[in-house]
Amino acid sequence: MATAQRAGDQGLDADTERDRQVLEACGTLAIVGLPALVVFAAYNALTLPRALAAPIVIHYGALAALFWIVGRLARRERFIRYGHALAALLGAGVFSVALHVLRARHDPYQTIYAVLVFVALGCVMLSVRWTIGTVAALTVAWLAGSRGSVGQARWHEMGITLCGAGTIAVALTVARGSALRRLAELARTDRQRRRQLERTLEAAEKEIRERARAERRYAQLVDDVEGIVWEADARLDRFHFVSRHAERVLGFASAEWIDQVGLFRSRLHPEDEPRCTAVAAAVVAGRHEPGVVECRLRRRDGETAWLRILMRRAAVEGGGLRLRGLMVDLT
């Protein structure tokens, strides 16, 4: 089932990639075709009588609007699934242009011209080399056709065709070059971001190593103190930190002090507990700081140890208070 799901996901990814390519092609064709349609509409409006020019201008104007809308939609990622529909719209528009040209020109040579124009459209999308070859072929056809009996009229028609094809070829070449430059810029930006990320990671690793060394030095410093460095809650029930010197003085390891709730009070002499509790409460309330109290604690081996306890209050994250201090062996 997992294999089938992975295969389905791969197929979906492939379909999505194809849809994205179709959408990008639609956007490129829309960008390239829009100025050509505007030029053709303006040319017909300026050269033909008003009665003949009006439907042609409306035709090319509607196609220009269609190309503009498709170009806008092709830039948006959420229209990937509609790429084939947009391509069909553009195809219908281009076909209508070709049909209009062939119906308006009752000349067999015009079919060749239209084919050459669309060959130029396809070839230029591949490389600049094909652009040069296509324009050269159109030029040869133009020069050859200009020697026919029609003379200046055919020269004029073929010149218009060549200008249109050349304009489209140049526009496609510019668009392709712009896309390649954009890809190069993206690759350069990606390399710059990768280098910046590597530098950031190196700085973070260096900071982590320095912090680890500082923590080790701090732990070594605390363990070298001839006393028990500690941190506990306000009631001295739960200890959150106890230095390793506690094991040498009282016989209980640091982990035992932290894990066993109430260990301090269970080892505290009953006669000293009220006084120790009162000093801790005064320190927490801010009436007496630092607090100092001497008390007796029962060691693991049953012997009694006299300790002087110094304590201060400390604020912690979350707004709570804790006690921190030092226990010095007076035995």
Q: What is the pLDDT of residues 87-127, one digit of tens each?
A: 555 555 665 565 555 455 545 555 455 555 555 554 444 44
User: Would you state the pLDDT for residue 151?
Assistant: 45
Please say if the pLDDT value at position 132 is more than 80. Answer: no
Domain 225-329: top CATH class? alpha beta
Q: Of 178 and 62, which is predicted with more confidence?
A: 62
Q: pLDDT of 9-18, one tens digit each? A: 444 445 456 5
Residue 268 DSSP symbol: B
Q: pLDDT of 33-81, one tens digit each? A: 667 667 767 777 787 777 767 776 776 677 677 767 766 666 666 655 5
pTM, 2 dp? 0.40
Q: pLDDT of 202-260, one tens digit each? A: 888 888 888 888 877 777 776 666 788 889 998 888 999 888 888 888 999 988 999 99
What are the structural domain ranges in the chain? Answer: 2-193, 225-329
Q: Given phi > 0 = left and psi -120 to 50 = alpha, else beta, which region is 326?
A: beta
User: Would you state the pLDDT for residue 298?
Assistant: 92
User: Would you state the pLDDT for residue 320?
Assistant: 81
Buried b (16+ CB within 10 A) or exposed e, 33-59: bbebbbbbbebbeeeeeeeebeebbeb
User: Would you state the pLDDT for residue 297?
Assistant: 92
Please say if the pLDDT value at position 150 is more than 60. Answer: no
Rg (CA), the chain: 43
Alpha-carbon span 173 to 57, nearest angstrom: 27
